[in-house]
Structure 1
Amino acid sequence: MNFLYPGFLFALLSVAIPVIIHLFNFRKFKKVYFSNVQLLKEVEQQHSSKEKIKNLLILLSRILAIIFLVLAFAQPYIPVANQKISSLNNTVSIYVDNSYSMEAVNKDGSLLDEAKRRAKELVADFGINDRFQLLTNDFEGKHQRLLSKDEFFKALDDVQISSISRNLQQIINRQASVLTGAANKYSFLISDFQRNMSNGKQLQTKDDIQYSVLKLNATTLPNVAVDSVWMLSPNHQPGASEKLVVQLKNYSEEEAQRIPLKLTINNQQKGLSSATIAAGKTRRDTFSFSGLAAGWQKGVISMKDFPVTFDDSLFFSFKVEQSRSVLSINGPGVGSYIKALFGADHYYKLTENPESNINYNGFADYGLIVLNGLKNPSSGLAQQLKSYLNGGGTVAVFPDLDADIQSYNAFLSSLSLPVIDNLNKAETKVDRIDLQHPIFKGVFEQVPKNLDLPTATRYFSFKESNSANKESILSLPAGKLFFGRYGVGNGSVFLSATGLGNGDGNLARHPVFVPLMYRLALNSGRESALYYYLGNEYALATKKINLGKNQTLKLSANNFEVIPEVRQLNGKSLIYVADQIKRSGFYNLNMADSLVGVYAFNSGRTESDLHYLSKTALDSLAGKSNLKIFDADKDAVKLLAGANKIGQTLWKLCLILSLIFIAAEILLIRFFNKPKKTI
């Protein structure tokens, strides 16, 4: 048998107190002489031997009561398999949920205040030498430290509501990373336990940690949230008409009526609306606006919905380009169709390179690269195009039908494109156009029944080994490819079966060629995300940034500035900010005095659903693990001081025996050897 707190055994010296009292209370019988015994009405007959036995039994009861009371405080136990446990201290991790849902109010005030109070009560029950971890949704580095009681209470008082939310398995894993070593380990989770904290899978716990879940009870509140937004056009031109789609979601059990909705861009109101949303449903609304100047735009969709307000606004940003750059790499003797097409619109900035003199370093600056009639596309060009495509670029290939098929196939294979089977010289006509493809969608107001489509005098037939990433836009009879899209890396390759020469057909002179190429250019490029969510370790993408030797990037907002990590990958720059951004809003990325980009951050929408896991659901998640579920309104959290690790604890037995001996003392005093009375 061993003791958790052997220091209390010094209290056994208190056994001397009843012994001393007993020694100084010995009774000595004295003879008393009376002249007349008739004055005595009654005499108590006592036997000195029985009195001594009684006193000894009372003394023994007192001694044993004190001994077992001291042992109860020392907490004796029988080690598992008779192995002695060396650790006597406890390591405790307490998770306090500080997500937005903890702003809800119940009869005890806000849930966060109640969670703090419960955490203090738990810590108060542990010893002065025990150590504690305070964990919140922020997962900050300081939360990996073990604190004393006073340090824990101070850190707990500083906990504020956070926009970040975590799931239960993440929290348990984070606690396990701190609860190591030989100490008795305890994990406590204090939360309202929204449904979003679980993915439905049973929780994975560790056998040497005692887990306790304390569920706080909140009232389910009605809530409508701005769920998401997206632009219908991937390209934004100065002064052009824009359309923005807004999705609202009603998380309550009742219909939300006439919710006011407002769109502002650069602090200017661009649209007003209202929406009625059925219970538990989503509703989409479209805003149309125009008149934007070139540059970065800061947009906000906002509404009025009480009492939950953290998800009533959504920030987004996008850039209106002053122009769009197109690169045309030309083979010898090609026509001027590409130059005439893009030269007619000042929005497009066309750069032409001959096949023999290609500037590979500038590929990342172009939204669209056109390969126009190349005679001998090299492996070096293919390698550079692969990097460009991996970065999200767009390439259009119009082959030279007189080129060597074998060399062309090597080029096409390196880009994971279908290889050429043969050259067909029989004139044929395109018999199918996919008007629902993004390239043509919305181009034609009305589609005539007898639509005139391009013809091909000569064209390549391809060996289609894998059509999983193929999208046919224009097709020849029997489903043969005339013009189609292939996904390569993160980008797109648009492959034509014919060239743009006069002897190849009429594609370059056909009316469909103009919208085809314009839409290719407009839909090309690396469209950045409209917004990001806080707490997710996203990499912010931007065009490739070439930093000088002493140059750095800065991400800044009101009273906030940080130097992010920058990595170059596939012709673009990735900006890593980890968990440094804590508040919703707009953040400017600057290089010296130049604005590189504007990024919008929003709180996640997982907290918008104010429905909670029941105790039964939590029991199901716990399964057969060593995780105990407590309801804050019904249960008291019971601590078993290391019982799950040290084996059989005996402090309860010692406490019971102490009470038994106290009761025995009382009975001995009252009923043992009660003297008989005579008259």
Structure 2
Amino acid sequence: MAHWGGSKNSNKPITSSRGRSLLTLTYICSVSFLYPLFLTAGAALAIPILIHLFNLRKYKTVMFPHTRFLKDIQLNSQKQSQVRYKALLAMRLLFLLFLILAFAQPFFNTSNATDKGNRTQIIYIDNSYSMSVKKGARTMLDIAKEDAARQVRTAAPGTRFILLTNDKPMSYRSEPADKVFAAINALDVTAGTKTIAQVVATAQSMVQNEATKGGDLFYYSDFQQNAFPATPDKAMMKNITFYGMPVQADEVQDIYIDTAYLAMPVLQTGKNNSLIVHTRLSGKEAKDAVVLQLSINGQVKSAATLNFKDKKESIDTLSFQVNNANWQQIQLTLNDVVMRFDDTFRITARSASNFSILVLNEGQANPYLQAAFRAYEGFRLNQLDVNNAPKEWNSYNLVILNGITRMDANLGKAVSDALSRGQSICIFPGKTNNFEAINEGLKQSGDIRINGIDTAVQAASSLQQGSALVKDLFEKIPDNVQLPVANWHYSISAGLNANQQSVLSFRNGDPLFARYTPGKGQLYICATSADLQSGNFPGSYFFAPFLYQMAMQSGSSNIYAVTSGSQQAIYLPINNVSERNTMHVLAKNVDVIPPQRPNGAGLDVFMDQAVQVPGFYQLAAAEGDTTDVALNQDKRESVLEYKNISTLKSEWKGDNIKWPDVTKGGSLKESAVSNFPLWKVCVLLAVLMLAVETWLLARVKKVAV
């Protein structure tokens, strides 16, 4: 009985140390091909063989002067012919073989299949709008897809991958290379975006699903400055090896619409409306003039030529009229031929019925309140003495208590009832030392009370930009804006059930203007009076806009321009929220239910979490009116400023962070393969075989002569 070696009872093969080393080397450095289909050209190797066999059948008669030399010449000629034909055949076969290998591009696959089997292979391709920028004839997304497809195609047999993009994952489990390869080739740009934190969090979740030791994340992106942090989060990167695959274009010019808003808080019918448009320039300066065009319901209304004058921003005003109170689809477009994905901005607006404002004054009417609401049409103002307050407040969008120094039980109950119905109440108190008279009415609405008076002159030091009064009204607070100054103010405290949010506050933490939500409605309290003796708040940048926003909060808005990915809630006043009035997002071939939650006397709808493609949509339920909403793309994709890769490599470094070699354009050379150019060696060997064949043919001719 034959044995492999060792004891007779052993059934396992025993190899020498040299054999084990050879097996290890073969395992670690296996040869693969970048374009294996070229190997089918190996059938051409049959051509020299057929030619060789055909030539062997050719005989040439040689005449000799004497037959006694025939035997020696015949033997010598036969031997030389055999050697010469075999050498030529070998050279021709080797020439074709090396030429075919050169086209197939062999490489040493140095990856350890065992290690990869214990790690999840994850490929993320950034397919956001910014990746549609062209570098030469191809977009950056095309370059990233080609590099990722090469990585999948050249992976070790049996390797499985998870493909992540800004869309939903194609699968939450690893897939075979052929499926991932097909998904990569079918990839296209999308309106969605994802941050590095979101991608890594998804990768961590999938590594847990795969039950592996860790994951290798190959991150193909343009690495925009506003979307990629300066330093990695070590806790976030645990068990993840990050491979940065930058795909960046040269500096390009891009002009985009940053924002647009109506100069008035309401849309007027039959009168001129002014639309203020902010456009920005990203990258190099614009060479050609760009035209901004305004369309209403598909009909062109006006246009303007943009002139940046060595600036990065242009502010223009376009005028238009509407003739009915229906929803108007307002669309702004640019003729920027370089980049087209961000050349449209959309707004929906309608001319609503007048907002009703009730002002209850203790004493004289306030001229600042009167001027604020009468400056624009769309507000119906009713000013009364607080002692003659109407019993029913249901018809008013906003009730203002101005200059009051006392709130009795009846007034306090009226305020509490209005808040329970979802109305908005604003209190501008008068100055008094008997502030307990005000507390008597406040306590009916919630745990809110005035603790004392601070007579020091103080300027507000902070503005809560996350407040509904600010974020829904101002696209951007001017950098040089002055916050209000109070000559005196009440010190106000509130319990947890009052849900206090300071909109404007002093350095010591006291609120100057605060929002409370003890019920369905919203209660706003200013810590000082609305007159210039008490401070400059009535004449400040924020006074009138805050009033308009408070008036519109008790009803649905009549102007919508939502940014995709902002998670901005759309408030709709819907009573008795139930399954019957669940809101749907509707458009052509679109009918989805977005996330929504009750808020006061209505509903907050997060439309941008259900749809990401910019356009005009409708919010509708089985019962109730339809609301038109405009969805715009994320402005961050328009800022085509990239992270410097050298700087990024110095910031993003560590044992689990790799930056493979990239080409000049940022594409991947070889992520998991050796950089040794085997195809060049094959070309040199093919040339060498051709040279040897030529030399042999020359010798044949010389001998023949």
Q: SS where residue 150 of structure 1 aligns?
A: helix
What is the match of residue 319 of structure 1? 350
What is the match of residue 252 of structure 1? 283
Q: Deviation at 1:412?
A: 4.3
Q: Deviation at 1:314?
A: 0.5
Are the counterparts in 2 of residues 418 and 463 from structure 1 also a CA contact under 8 Å? no
The amino acid across from 1:590 in the alignment is A
Q: In structure 2, do the counterparts of structure 1 residues 207 and 268 end up closer, same or farther at CA, with 3 Å as the change threshold?
A: closer
Are the counterparts in 1 of residues 489 and 528 from structure 2 also a CA contact under 8 Å? no
Higher RCO, 1 vs 2 (CA within 8 Å, ≥6 residues apart): 1
1:211-610 correspondence to structure 2 within 5 Å: 211-279=242-310, 281-326=312-357, 348=380, 362=394, 366-371=396-401, 375-377=408-410, 380-384=413-417, 393-395=424-426, 406-412=436-442, 418=450, 464-465=490-491, 486-489=513-516, 492-493=524-525, 524-526=551-553, 527=557, 530-547=560-577, 550-577=580-607, 579-592=609-622, 594-610=624-640
Partner Cα separation in structure 2 for residue 406 and residue 587 of structure 1 = 50
Q: Deviation at 1:616?
A: 0.5
The counterpart of 1:106, out of the listed 100, 117, 135, is 135
What is the match of residue 157 of structure 1? 185
Are the counterparts in 2 of residues 235 and 522 from structure 1 also a CA contact under 8 Å? no
Partner Cα separation in structure 1 for residue 205 and residue 197 of structure 2 = 13
Q: SS where residue 610 of structure 1 aligns?
A: coil
Partner Cα separation in structure 2 for residue 243 and residue 173 of structure 1 = 45
What is the match of residue 91 of structure 1? 120
Q: SS where residue 626 of structure 2 aligns?
A: strand
Q: In structure 2, do the counterparts of structure 1 residues 192 and 375 end up closer, same or farther at CA, with 3 Å as the change threshold?
A: closer
The amino acid across from 2:315 in the alignment is R
* Structure 1 stretches lacking a partner, 5+ long: 1-11, 14-61, 77-84, 422-437, 439-460, 472-483, 500-511, 642-679
Partner Cα separation in structure 1 for residue 425 and residue 256 of structure 2 = 36
Partner Cα separation in structure 1 for residue 119 and residue 399 of structure 2 = 65
* Structure 2 stretches lacking a partner, 5+ long: 5-14, 30-113, 454-468, 470-486, 494-501, 506-510, 517-521, 532-538, 675-705
Q: In structure 2, do the counterparts of structure 1 residues 247 and 549 end up closer, same or farther at CA, with 3 Å as the change threshold?
A: closer
What is the match of residue 119 of structure 1? 148
Partner Cα separation in structure 2 for residue 556 and residue 351 of structure 1 = 42
Q: In structure 2, do the counterparts of structure 1 residues 191 and 494 end up closer, same or farther at CA, with 3 Å as the change threshold?
A: closer
Partner Cα separation in structure 1 for residue 137 and residue 544 of structure 2 = 65
Identity %: 21
The amino acid across from 2:177 in the alignment is K
Q: Deviation at 1:221?
A: 1.4
What is the match of residue 200 of structure 2? 172
Q: SS where residue 284 of structure 2 aligns?
A: coil
After superposition, the C-alpha distances for 1:302-321 in whole angstroms (9 at most, x for unaligned) are 11112101111101122321
- TM-score normalised by L of structure 1: 0.62
The amino acid across from 1:525 in the alignment is M
Are the counterparts in 2 of residues 226 and 312 from structure 1 also a CA contact under 8 Å? yes
Q: In structure 2, do the counterparts of structure 1 residues 347 and 123 end up closer, same or farther at CA, with 3 Å as the change threshold?
A: closer
Partner Cα separation in structure 1 for residue 578 and residue 383 of structure 2 = 26
What is the match of residue 425 of structure 1? none
Partner Cα separation in structure 2 for residue 405 and residue 89 of structure 1 = 71
The counterpart of 1:71, out of the listed 9, 14, 24, is 24
Q: Deviation at 1:162?
A: 0.9
The amino acid across from 1:550 in the alignment is R
Q: In structure 2, do the counterparts of structure 1 residues 571 and 550 end up closer, same or farther at CA, with 3 Å as the change threshold?
A: closer
The counterpart of 1:132, out of the listed 152, 161, 169, is 161
After superposition, the C-alpha distances for 1:498-520 in whole angstroms (9 at most, x for unaligned) are 99xxxxxxxxxxxx9xxx99995
Instruction: Report whether the alignment pairs 1:624 with 2:654.
Output: yes
Partner Cα separation in structure 1 for residue 431 and residue 248 of structure 2 = 72
The amino acid across from 1:150 in the alignment is D
Q: SS where residue 177 of structure 1 aligns?
A: helix
The amino acid across from 1:155 in the alignment is A
Q: In structure 2, do the counterparts of structure 1 residues 299 and 469 end up closer, same or farther at CA, with 3 Å as the change threshold?
A: closer
Are the counterparts in 2 of residues 203 and 622 from structure 1 also a CA contact under 8 Å? no
Q: In structure 2, do the counterparts of structure 1 residues 108 and 94 end up closer, same or farther at CA, with 3 Å as the change threshold?
A: farther
Are the counterparts in 2 of residues 534 and 602 from structure 1 also a CA contact under 8 Å? yes
After superposition, the C-alpha distances for 1:90-111 in whole angstroms (9 at most, x for unaligned) are 4100001111222233357322
Q: In structure 2, do the counterparts of structure 1 residues 417 and 585 end up closer, same or farther at CA, with 3 Å as the change threshold?
A: farther
Partner Cα separation in structure 2 for residue 539 and residue 525 of structure 1 = 15
- TM-score normalised by L of structure 2: 0.60
Q: Deviation at 1:203?
A: 4.7
Structure number with larger C-alpha Rg: 1
Q: SS where residue 525 of structure 1 aligns?
A: helix
After superposition, the C-alpha distances for 1:541-563 in whole angstroms (9 at most, x for unaligned) are 22234446634322111111112
Q: Deviation at 1:601?
A: 0.8
Q: Deviation at 1:487?
A: 3.4
Are the counterparts in 2 of residues 250 and 256 from structure 1 also a CA contact under 8 Å? no
Q: Deviation at 1:600?
A: 0.8
What is the match of residue 693 of structure 2? none
Instruction: Report whether the alignment pairs 1:189 with 2:219.
Output: yes
Q: In structure 2, do the counterparts of structure 1 residues 74 and 521 end up closer, same or farther at CA, with 3 Å as the change threshold?
A: closer
Partner Cα separation in structure 2 for residue 233 and residue 542 of structure 1 = 21
After superposition, the C-alpha distances for 1:565-596 in whole angstroms (9 at most, x for unaligned) are 43211333101346331311111112237533
Q: In structure 2, do the counterparts of structure 1 residues 129 and 522 end up closer, same or farther at CA, with 3 Å as the change threshold?
A: closer
Q: In structure 2, do the counterparts of structure 1 residues 633 and 203 end up closer, same or farther at CA, with 3 Å as the change threshold?
A: farther
Q: SS where residue 277 of structure 1 aligns?
A: coil
Q: In structure 2, do the counterparts of structure 1 residues 334 and 620 end up closer, same or farther at CA, with 3 Å as the change threshold?
A: closer
Q: SS where residue 184 of structure 2 aligns?
A: helix
Q: In structure 2, do the counterparts of structure 1 residues 381 and 272 end up closer, same or farther at CA, with 3 Å as the change threshold?
A: same
Q: In structure 2, do the counterparts of structure 1 residues 571 and 406 end up closer, same or farther at CA, with 3 Å as the change threshold?
A: same
Are the counterparts in 1 of residues 213 and 239 from structure 2 also a CA contact under 8 Å? no
The amino acid across from 2:296 in the alignment is I
Partner Cα separation in structure 1 for residue 275 and residue 578 of structure 2 = 38
Partner Cα separation in structure 1 for residue 544 and residue 342 of structure 2 = 41
Q: Deviation at 1:419?
A: 7.0
Partner Cα separation in structure 2 for residue 346 and residue 265 of structure 1 = 21
Q: How many residues align?
A: 499
Q: SS where residue 640 of structure 2 aligns?
A: coil
What is the match of residue 68 of structure 2? none
| CA RMSD in angstroms, aligned pairs only | 4.8
Q: In structure 2, do the counterparts of structure 1 residues 355 and 66 end up closer, same or farther at CA, with 3 Å as the change threshold?
A: farther
